[in-house]
Amino acid sequence: MRVGLSSVLRHWPRRPLRRQPAHGPRGGPTRQSPNFLHGAKSPMLHATPLLCLPFAGAGASFYLPWRSLGVGGVDVRPLQLPGRERLLDQDPYTNVQDAADGLLAAALEAAGEGPVAVFGHSLGAIIAYELAHRIADHGAGELVHLFVSGSQGPWNGRTERATGLDDDAFLARVQEFAGYSHPAFEIPEMRELLLPALRADVEMHEAYKPTSERKLAAPITSIRGVDDHLVPADAAERWRDATTAEFTAVDVPGDHMYLDADAKSLLELIASRLRPASTES
């Protein structure tokens, strides 16, 4: 549950915070795109756009350092959920389906008309899964891969619960899940600011149920830290049932938050899986 503290402070509103709806009256995206890197283009040739979805409590800024790691073949394009960072004054989503619907326009803009891959960690993995279906159904570009990290299969559901607990118990339970607590939550003002998005994220993760058993036609790679006590290996393997294409399960060194310790190795793994798509485009 790491949160980009410096980014949160940088985007702290200078006026009283009044949250705005994250979607219009029909559930569509607002005019302000949730795409954190609006208009950003990669200088690399033959790089496949990789749309990145954050884990619970995190924002798009978590993925920004990945763009400077120098891994060829991957163009990291983070997507931003409302209720944090630049979209701090918008209400966070509490439903995965609404989140995927709301992110679709920004995802299509970031993806362009060529091949595109999607990555998500933990909560981000199930949002990525739902978003991948929507991208594939839209047909604007070619969905070439879905990378799900630190996540059980989409039909498993979360058995651990934190929703409904008081603030102290809630944060203790989330820390137990993730094995980490950001020091920002020890500052009363920051805690008040960050808790709504974290609570909303946890709620939508715990309540998630896929609306369809239809499988993706794109390959899926499931990645987990070998010491991840939250996602056992057999649970991560259940993503196999979410695709009619190739499935690969990969264990990497680390725990549930392995990607924070060695992002470059993770990107190199992703690039190796995308290489056929990026070199042929």
The DSSP letter of residue 51 is: E
CB atoms within 10 A of CB 244: 11
The whole-number pLDDT of residue 20 equals 47
- Give me the DSSP letters along 57-78: T--GGGGGGGGGS--TTEEEEE
The whole-number pLDDT of residue 179 equals 56
The DSSP letter of residue 17 is: -
pTM above 0.85, yes or no: no
Among this protein's residues, is 272 annotated catalytic? no
Across 48-60, b (16+ Cβ under 10 Å) vs e yields: bbbbbbbbbbbbb
Catalytic residue among 61, 122, 222, 278: 122
The whole-number pLDDT of residue 203 equals 87
Task: Provide the residue-wise pLDDT of the chain in tens; the chain has 281 residues.
Answer: 333 333 333 333 333 334 444 544 333 433 345 444 444 444 455 789 999 999 988 889 999 999 999 899 999 999 999 988 888 889 999 999 999 999 999 999 988 888 999 999 999 999 999 999 999 998 777 899 999 999 998 887 666 677 777 777 878 877 777 655 667 777 888 788 888 888 888 888 988 988 888 999 999 999 999 999 889 999 999 999 999 999 999 999 999 999 988 999 999 999 999 976 544 44
The whole-number pLDDT of residue 169 equals 83
Q: Are 37 and 77 in contact (CB under 8 A)?
A: yes
